[in-house]
Structure 1
Amino acid sequence: MTLISIKKASLSDLDTLQKIGKQTFMETFELVNTPENIANYLEQSFNTTQLTTELNNPDSQFYLAVLEQEVIGYLKINFGKAQTELINERALEIHRIYVLQQFHGKKVGQLFIDEVLKVVQQKPVEYIWLGVWEENHRAIAFYTKNGFTPFDKHIFTLGNDVQTDLLMKRQIH
């Protein structure tokens, strides 16, 4: 089997990030949300200005999973003030892990978690945290297997749909 590589994304990957971001979000959520809410989220989250700002933020990093020159998933992590909720300055947030549906079960998510664990060896991080939709049982099981435990909840609003995310964390130090 051909190896999947993980590479850090830069501004030159903007178009690729827009494409993979939109495609993976739609695959994951279009069946459980209205087309209007999905379209609005995609426009707000993956427009050129928004992604350029995020890619240029020194406290955010994007990584791409590449298989035979095809990007099959991406990871976004946030430090410090870039975190979506500033729970702890010395925490790292996994903001997004998305993988194309056809590659689910191929250990791409695990490669991303492994990459995060490499990153935290270089940074003074006390714990890693993330938010995951409470109905995404597959993802919750994956994070639990990787040592994450629930510690809180928060509201995620997708258009006019109010959803609950579990907040999960994994201690580092």
Structure 2
Amino acid sequence: MTVTYRAATPADYEPLADMARQSWVETFGYLYNEADLNAFIGPVFGPDGLGRELSDPAFQIRLAEADGRIVGFAKIGPVTMPGPLPAPAIELNQLYVLKPWHGRGVAPALMDWALDNAHATGAQFVHLSVYAENARAKAFYTRYGFTEIGRYGFVVGNQVDDERIWSKPL
């Protein structure tokens, strides 16, 4: 099945939010009780989170679609992690791919887009955060030249996770 890529629009909110929730729960849902999971997912992927970002020119979102369905996305925007961090910078806020599409070139295509567009903004660094125990993501980011430069507590409901800050000069 062919994967196509395009810029997200506000009209993509519902299917994108559904895909993002599914991907996040597939990857991290086992770590949290239901209350903590819902406390995180609602604001992040809801109308005031992802829905607002789709209309905010500070964010760029790229979709990967197969057979009319969103199977992955990448989002870049302002740096939200605690710092000080090298600047000027942009954050790769999210890069999610549904599990059936892992290993099929979707994540590299989205990462290439994110790095190209981050560079086009004039940023000199791209920062991202990754759960300390997410070995698959850390291996992927290492292949792209990202290195760990810090850590912080990532809050999901009442739980605080060990999140690592990674960076790459452009």
CA spacing shift, 1:105–1:50, aligned 2, 3 Å: same
- With 160-169 and 50-59 compared, the bigger mean Cα shift is at 50-59
- 1:56-71 aligned within 5 A: 56-71=55-70
Q: Deviations over 1:128-151 (max 9, x none)?
A: 110000010110011001110111
Asked if structure 1 preserves the Cα contact closer than 8 Å seen for 2:125 and 2:167, the reply is yes
1:83 aligned to which of 79, 83, 87: 79
Q: Which amino acid aligns with 1:107?
A: G
Mapped to 1, the partners of 2:155 and 2:45 lie a distance apart of 16
Give me the identity figure in percent: 27
SS at structure 1 position matched to 2:71? strand
Task: Give how far 1:102 is off.
Answer: 1.3
Structure 1 equivalent of residue 54 of structure 2:
55
Given the alignment, which residue of 101, 104, 107 partners 2:105?
Answer: 107
How many residue pairs get matched? Answer: 168
How many Å separate the matches in 2 of 1:120 and 1:51? 19
SS at 2:142 equivalent: helix
Bigger drift between 126-135 and 35-44 goes to 35-44
- The aligned counterpart of 2:116 is 118
Gapped regions of structure 1 (runs ≥ 5): none
Question: 1:9 aligned to 2:8?
Answer: yes
TM-score scaled to structure 1, two decimals? 0.90
Tell me which amino acid in the other structure corresponds to 1:145.
Answer: R
* Alpha-carbon distance between aligned partners in 2 of 1:5 and 1:121, rounded to the nearest angstrom: 22
TM-score normalised according to structure 2 size? 0.92
SS for the counterpart of 1:56 is coil
Aligned residue for 1:165, secondary structure, equals strand
- CA positional deviation for 1:88: 5.0
